[in-house]
Structure 1
Amino acid sequence: MYSYMPVSVVNLTNPLNKSLQGKYFLGETDQLHPTDSNRTWAALINPPHSGVNLYFGIYVLSNLSDDKLVSQICFCSNLPTHGKQSHEVSTANLAFHPNPLPHGQIQFGSNLDTTHLSAIPVSTRVIPSYSSVASEKDGHWIIGPGKAILFTLTSSMDHPSPAVISFGWWEEAQGRY
């Protein structure tokens, strides 16, 4: 009497969906060298006139040294100065040609001066020696134009402790959501 057909249901995660659209990006800093007197930093920055919001997907803090590192995560309502822009950034979908270019930027530096930086610390992490700490935010942290999420690294040693910070995010035009 009734013919029942199986229903196919596909569940796409939002990061996968954004990657399929060419809107998901990832990248990392050059090697950072924090010490007890040199606070290094990395930030995912949304330039002031980008016209997009950045949806923070994931971060990975990698400690390449035999010392534990301490990272503080800060939400910034203005941008750090004197940073170097990472060129180690790519779209997550390598099938696009030409590759989409991100509006967001990964910047990093050393000897962070917080004098003119309006930042709210929101989390502190300890990264054990020779390990990585990662956290998926799945877009819960949203960075508007002219804002940044900044990660600092310090070491208890007086010699440099190499580390790398990686970010993943997607972008949507402002007012889209």
Structure 2
Amino acid sequence: MNRETFEKIYEPLLQNVSTPIELYESILGKYFIGYADNLTFGQNTSAWARLHNPINSGVILHVNVWTVTGVSRSPFRAQFWFNATPPASDVKYSDTTPTNLAVTPLPKARVQLEYASNVTGNPTGGIKAFVRRALPETTLVDNENGKIIIAPGGNFMVFLSTPETPENETSGRVAFGWWEEKMYRGKCGCRQQKTR
């Protein structure tokens, strides 16, 4: 079944019943997941992973869920930044997947999942929105329900470090779930968020 058929069948129904937003976006083929694995940090270095919304993506990024897990050797700190520039690093890109595998062709995310390990320095610019600290073997997770909204050119970054035990090396992973909402050109010629 292609996306157009899905939208014709399900969109009127989904807008009239109480459906979790994640399910609604997944049925439309707009919900994606991905993770950055083997993020190494410690020994006076940090690691980061982010959802980067390219300037020409044509979509609004809605961050739904994030998870930090697998940090086993040290207490760690996770800083959450909006629209910051990460320290200079060897940036890698992680594969992502739509959660609705019944849509054909499979949708491709426009938002990119980027990450880097063993970086020195701190993010610059942007907003450090919140910080979480955790003990080894602890999973940090939060469901944002799409309320973190990032325009093209922006990003949502998780920055990991071990300030309490900087001499220890450790590793972990960061996972994200998000949906993408198309923008359109309004009468003013400017990009605007599409209303449902």
Aligned equivalents of 1:36, 1:10: Cα separation in 2: 52
What residue is the counterpart of 1:166 in the other structure? 175
What residue is the counterpart of 1:5 in the other structure? none
Superposed CA RMSD in Å reads: 1.9
Deviation of 1:19 (Å): 0.3
TM-score using structure 2 length: 0.78
Q: Which runs of 5+ in 1 are unaligned?
A: 1-8
What residue is the counterpart of 2:93 in the other structure? 85
**Alignment identity in percent?**
28
| Structure 1: 4+ residue segments shifted above 6 A | none
Deviation of 1:159 (Å): 3.3
Q: Which runs of 5+ in 2 are unaligned?
A: 1-15, 184-192
Question: In the TM superposition, what whole-angstrom CA distance separates every residue of 1:100-137 from its partner, at most 9, and x where no partner exists?
Answer: 0000111011315447x312111110122112110001
Deviation of 1:167 (Å): 0.4
Instruction: Map residues 120-139 of structure 1 onto 2, 5 A cutoff.
Output: 120-139=127-146
Instruction: Map residues 22-41 of structure 1 onto 2, 5 A cutoff.
Output: 22-41=29-48
CA contact (8 A) 1:35 1:161 kept: yes
CA contact (8 A) 1:78 1:146 kept: no
Letter of the 2:138 counterpart: S
Instruction: Map residues 56-71 of structure 1 onto 2, 5 A cutoff.
Output: 56-71=63-78
When residues 16 and 107 of structure 1 are mapped into structure 2, their CA distance, relative to the original with a 3 A threshold, is same
Aligned equivalents of 2:84, 2:194: Cα separation in 1: 21
Counting matched residue pairs gives 167
1:151 to 151, 158, 167: 158
1:13 to 20, 31, 43: 20
When residues 80 and 146 of structure 1 are mapped into structure 2, their CA distance, relative to the original with a 3 A threshold, is farther
CA contact (8 A) 1:62 1:132 kept: yes
Q: Which has the higher contact order (CA 8 A, sep 6+)?
A: 1
TM-score using structure 1 length: 0.86
Aligned equivalents of 1:10, 1:163: Cα separation in 2: 39
Deviation of 1:157 (Å): 4.2
